Structure 1
Amino acid sequence: MSCPICSEKSDPKFRPFCSKRCADIDLGRWMSGKYAIPADDPEEAEDALDEIERQMQKPH
């Protein structure tokens, strides 16, 4: 199996990645919203937008 980030051979310790660095790159992409699961249901999109608006209105 090759690393999904850099295509090097994966290391069992960090599987499916080759190193902690590539695992961290992948995690950063998820956390920044670079990866997303598309939705076809318009209601789901509206619900997601409503939740984002609620979260932005909360005082921190």
Structure 2
Amino acid sequence: MTSKPAKCPVCGKPAQAEFRPFCSKRCADVDLGRWFSGDYRIPGAPAPIENDEKAERNDER
């Protein structure tokens, strides 16, 4: 059984070993930018805001 070559998840071109699973540094950077901008999210209930504020106040001491 032969496996198909992996494709870049951003553009669909064949993945390159140096940038795996991407085809280039550009596609790797595009993917990273999507993570930073919040395009990729795990669905779930929002975190309670009041817990975050309490933690921040404790860090300031």
Q: Same fold (TM over 0.5)?
A: yes
Paired letter, 1:17: F
Would you say 1:25 and 2:30 are equivalent positions? yes
CA displacement 1:6-60 (0-9 Å, x = unmatched): 0000001000000000000000000011110111xx4xx133xx14xx4xxxxxx
Count of aligned pairs: 48
Q: Kindly report structure 1 stretches of 4+ aligned residues shifted beyond 6 Å.
A: none
Greater Cα radius of gyration, structure 1 or 2: 2
Q: In structure 1, how many angstroms separate the alpha carbons of the residues matched to 2:17 and 2:28? A: 12
- TM-score, length-scaled by structure 2: 0.68
Counting aligned pairs with the same residue, the percent is 52
1:46 corresponds to which letter in structure 2? A
Higher helix share: 1
Per the alignment, in what secondary structure is the counterpart of residue 13 of structure 1? Answer: helix
Structure 1 residue ranges without an equivalent (≥5): 55-60
- 5+ residue gaps, structure 2: 1-5, 54-61
Q: CA RMSD in A?
A: 1.9
2:7 to 2, 8, 14: 2
